[in-house]
Amino acid sequence: MKLKNKILGAAALLTVLLTGTVKAQVGKPFIHDPSTIAECDGKYYTFGTGGGGLISEDGWSWNSGAVRPGGGAAPDVIKIGDRYLVVYGSTGGGLGGGHDGRINTMWTKSLDPKSPDFKFSESNVVASSANMEDNDAIDPGLLLDPTDGRLWLSYGTYFGFIRLVELDPKTGKRVEGNKAINVAIDCEASDLMYHDGWYYLLGTHGTCCDGANSTYNIVVGRSKKVTGPYLDNMGRDMIEGGGKMVVAAGGRITGPGHFGRFIVGNGIEKMSCHYEADLEQSGRSVLAIRPLLWKNGWPYAGDNFKEGTYEIESERRGYALELVVDFVRMAGGMRGFGRNTDEPIKPVASQELADVIKTWPEGKINVRIGDYMFRPHQKWTITAAPNAGGYLGAPYYKIVIAGTDRALAATAEGEVETVPAFTGAPEQLWRIDQLTDGTYRIMPKIVPNSKEQLVLVSSGDSTPTLAPFDMNSDNSKWNFKAH
């Protein structure tokens, strides 16, 4: 009977590990060719092909409701000063049967249709293509160069070259006398970004608009100059079709395209795109928000957090977050030297929750960080907290000891503890962001009686606490390991 229980327990754990799910976004996040996500008065916005777009109160649940005049296709948005510059292609891309395209810009002080500042200026044509020239003026992407404040626009499709022009960040118009240059071929939905001395040109490769069969994927090249040449990791120019993969299909979502970058803060970046088809959602085109990571100077899409049971490992020492409970020894010890090596080999059962839980206190239990021994007091099951909302790209999570409802919580003293049962209180809700280096930041939704934003940190190798996040310190970083 005991053996059966253990098998069932192991099977249950395995099931959790294997069925951990990742959703794109919740609500009705249906969109094609989304613009870079913009924040306005605490809400998030993205616009798509056609006149509409999506709004989110928290960055996790998205629904239609955003409004953009001009129609057309594949817009982009950037905030400059206290205004938003919206850019879109009004024709081209085969819309209407041709490649005579126009890129338009217009300003608004608010993206909220209910705001009195929601007024769009007259649009300016800043780039165009005509008469079957080797370009298709659609799919714009904007970059405000953080080094000098200059504003750049890339645009184009598979129909010829991706081109780059300069705009005036004060007017949104084309800089007088500026001549377009070619920066890439054989991609579309380009975008630009700057990181650590490099300019990056993102392009969407593959085939769009074919549902589950769309092969869209996002690739990148980089250059020391915004004008290029943009080379991939093999030194191949994007004008030769080069590009290093940023994100491709995976899971049951296929066809990522139309990259956008959103910097949350130092070390925390997100990328937005659409997936051509989410097979869990009728194969519709959906908005996706994923962590944006960097490795050896190249960006790539991180994975949204997968629900499951994990060791929570400190980046500082490599120890594991655990309950402060008595260590319960497993049966047996060292087998000893000189024993008969021909004795039958048999597995040794792992320590199970039922073996130890009666030794644990029933009330609050503090936490510490210790050597990971795959013991029950070190295994944390992390799932999206029901009806708790979220933040940009993910839901709030509850973090409980596996097999129990004992939940990790922030205290009013700025420490962490576990409470016997998860109640949904905000100090028991956790935000998990993958950092640009691939480690994670773990942050309570609130710290009781505090307005400070604190995160889980290692104050010593074996001692956790809450403190301001510091991207430059391994104290602020954690890893989730599924064993």
The edge-to-edge listing of strands for the beta sheet with 253-265 is 253-265, 268-278, 284-295, 298-301
Q: Any contact of residue 131 with other proteins (CB under 8 A)?
A: yes
CB of 218 to other proteins, least distance (A): 14
**For other proteins, what does the binding mask look like between residues 183 and 202, x meaning CB under 8 A?**
x-xxxxx-------------
CA–CA separation, 290 vs 305, rounded Å? Answer: 9
CB of 440 to other proteins, least distance (A): 34
**Binders in 38-67 for other proteins, by CB under 8 A:** 49
What's the token pair of residue 36? Answer: 């870079």
Q: Any contact of residue 179 with other proteins (CB under 8 A)?
A: yes
Q: Any contact of residue 73 with other proteins (CB under 8 A)?
A: yes
Size of the site for other proteins (CB under 8 A): 54
CB of 201 to other proteins, least distance (A): 12
For residue 218, list its beta bridge partners: 204, 247
Q: Report the residue from 8, 14, 125, 181 that binds other proteins according to the rule CB under 8 A.
A: 181
CA–CA separation, 208 vs 402, rounded Å? Answer: 42
Instruction: Choose between 156 and 390: whose C-beta lies nearer to other proteins.
Output: 156
> Strands 298-301 and 188-195: what pairing?
unpaired
333 Cβ contact partners less than 8 Å away, ≥ 6 residues apart: none
For residue 193, list its beta bridge partners: 200
In terms of Cβ atoms closer than 10 Å to its own Cβ (0-12, 13-18, 19+), residue 294 is middle
Q: Any contact of residue 32 with other proteins (CB under 8 A)?
A: yes
CB of 367 to other proteins, least distance (A): 49
Confirm if 445 and 409 have CB atoms less than 8 A apart. Answer: no
Q: Report the residue from 9, 94, 251, 414 that binds other proteins according to the rule CB under 8 A.
A: 94
Q: Report the residue from 23, 68, 205, 284 that binds other proteins according to the rule CB under 8 A.
A: 205
HSE toward the beta carbon, residue 42, CA cutoff 13 A: 2
Q: Any contact of residue 277 with other proteins (CB under 8 A)?
A: no
Across 248-393, the runs of DSSP E, i.e. the strands, are 253-265, 268-278, 284-295, 298-301, 308-314, 320-323, 365-370, 380-384, 390-391
Name the segment binding other proteins (CB under 8 A); options: 124-132, 348-356, 370-378, 423-431: 124-132
Q: From residue 70, how far is each of 73, 160, 166, 345 by CA, in Å? A: 9, 25, 22, 73
What's the token pair of residue 112? Answer: 């909220």
Q: Which of 458, 401, 459, 396 is nearest to 426 (CA)?
A: 396
**Binders in 401-440 for other proteins, by CB under 8 A:** none
Instruction: Choose between 161 and 380: whose C-beta lies nearer to other proteins.
Output: 161
Q: Report the residue from 51, 241, 251, 420 that binds other proteins according to the rule CB under 8 A.
A: 241
CB of 164 to other proteins, least distance (A): 8
**Binders in 136-155 for other proteins, by CB under 8 A:** 136, 138-139
CB of 257 to other proteins, least distance (A): 8
334 Cβ contact partners less than 8 Å away, ≥ 6 residues apart: none
Q: Report the residue from 75, 140, 172, 228 that binds other proteins according to the rule CB under 8 A.
A: 228
Kindly list the residues in this chain that would bind other proteins in the complex (CB under 8 A).
32-33, 49, 73-74, 93-95, 97, 130-136, 138-139, 157-161, 163, 179-183, 185-189, 205-210, 213, 215, 227-229, 236-237, 239-243, 257-258
